[in-house]
Structure 1
Amino acid sequence: MGISVFTINKICTVLLFVCLFFQIQNTAHAENKVQPIGNLKLPPFLTWRNAMYCLRNYKEPNPCPWKYTLNLSGSLDVADSDADNFCKNGCMNHTRAVLDCIDDVKRDFWFANKASVKDLNDVVNSRCNTH
């Protein structure tokens, strides 16, 4: 009585999933959540987390009020009267640094409002060049 081909296929499939699970676990533990740019060699399906780390834990201190901080929505709530403060007191530089981080770890990242990193960079640059 031998082992059927179907049984061998099931065993191989289970072993493959177990190996993939441990590989993903190893990769997740090796991730740098504070400086996501160090995670450049992660598999493509984990790169979205790097972008989240860029948004949440960027290595530079954030000098901006919460409403000026970039988030997953892709919108910055900067009123006309606050544009000078945003552009000249570090918020613009912090926003650009976060966008650069996201671009480095996930070039095809899109925010919830369908804006790309380039779109947001263009808006920030345009807004701050006029003030």
Structure 2
Amino acid sequence: MASPLPILLLLALYCSSVCGEELEGQGVTQAFQCFDNNLIYYGCESAYRLNPTGNLNVPLEATNLFCNGPCLIETQLLLNCLDHAFHNFLFYNKATVPDIQNALRAGCSYSTQRGNFNPGYFMQGEISKGHTLQKWVTLYYLFSLIGCCFFIL
């Protein structure tokens, strides 16, 4: 039976060039913990909270409640948490943290955009080249599976 050492070395070289700093999906795990952090979201109604989809479901009639209550501040805290946990975080709708911040600014402004919290209107330039959660989760499970196979052999 062949030694797994050459395959492990190739895998390590590949991973160091492709995976960068997020080999084990630690940033993904930390980012998802931001959504469940009770110290961030405690005063905002759950219907108005930002979730991994990247959508803010704030009806037009709730704009004042969202912008003048705890929701705006708590959503900004969540975005800071996400940005610190996983730089270039992408929501499922391909919005970035700055895209959501722009949507918050416009949605709470006293302009014609007030009440418009759709990040699609505020996405900057091309779709971000940030890492998607799906890619990191897939890589994490793939490497875990490969690692388990080598330990069994």
- In which range does the TM-score fall when normalised by the shorter chain? 0.5 to 0.7
User: Which residue of structure 2 lines up, in the alignment, with residue 54 of structure 1?
Assistant: 34
The AA in structure 2 aligned to 1:73 is: T
Structure 2: gaps (5+ residues):
9-20, 115-153
Aligned residue runs from structure 1 range 84-123, under 5 A: 84-123=64-103
The AA in structure 2 aligned to 1:49 is: T
In the superposition, relative to structure 1, how do residues 50 and 58 fare at CA in structure 2: closer, same or farther (>3 Å)? Answer: farther
Question: For the Cα contact (< 8 Å) 2:40–2:78, is it kept in 1?
Answer: no
- 1:60 & 1:102 partners in 2: Cα distance? 11
The AA in structure 2 aligned to 1:52 is: F
Query: What CA RMSD, in Å, does the superposition of the two structures yield over aligned residues?
Result: 2.5
SS in 1 for 2:100: helix
| Displacement of 1:61 | 4.3
Q: Give the % identical residues.
A: 27
User: Which residue of structure 2 lines up, in the alignment, with residue 44 of structure 1?
Assistant: 22
The AA in structure 2 aligned to 1:117 is: V
Question: For the Cα contact (< 8 Å) 1:70–1:76, is it kept in 2?
Answer: yes
| Displacement of 1:59 | 2.4
Question: For the Cα contact (< 8 Å) 1:63–1:90, is it kept in 2?
Answer: yes
- 1:93 & 1:126 partners in 2: Cα distance? 15
For each residue in 1:88-120, what CA deviation from the matched residue of structure 2 results, as whole angstroms up to 9, or x when unmatched? 111000000000110111111110111101100
For each residue in 1:44-87, what CA deviation from the matched residue of structure 2 results, as whole angstroms up to 9, or x when unmatched? 13211111011122523421111111111110111111000001
- 2:41 & 2:68 partners in 1: Cα distance? 16
TM-score by length of 2: 0.57
In the superposition, relative to structure 1, how do residues 58 and 99 fare at CA in structure 2: closer, same or farther (>3 Å)? Answer: farther
Question: For the Cα contact (< 8 Å) 2:83–2:89, is it kept in 1?
Answer: yes
The AA in structure 2 aligned to 1:110 is: L
Larger radius of gyration: 1
In the superposition, relative to structure 1, how do residues 95 and 44 fare at CA in structure 2: closer, same or farther (>3 Å)? Answer: same
TM-score by length of 1: 0.66
Number of aligned residue pairs: give it: 99
User: Which residue of structure 2 lines up, in the alignment, with residue 124 of structure 1?
Assistant: 104
Higher helix share: 1
User: Which residue of structure 2 lines up, in the alignment, with residue 37 of structure 1?
Assistant: none
- 2:57 & 2:70 partners in 1: Cα distance? 15
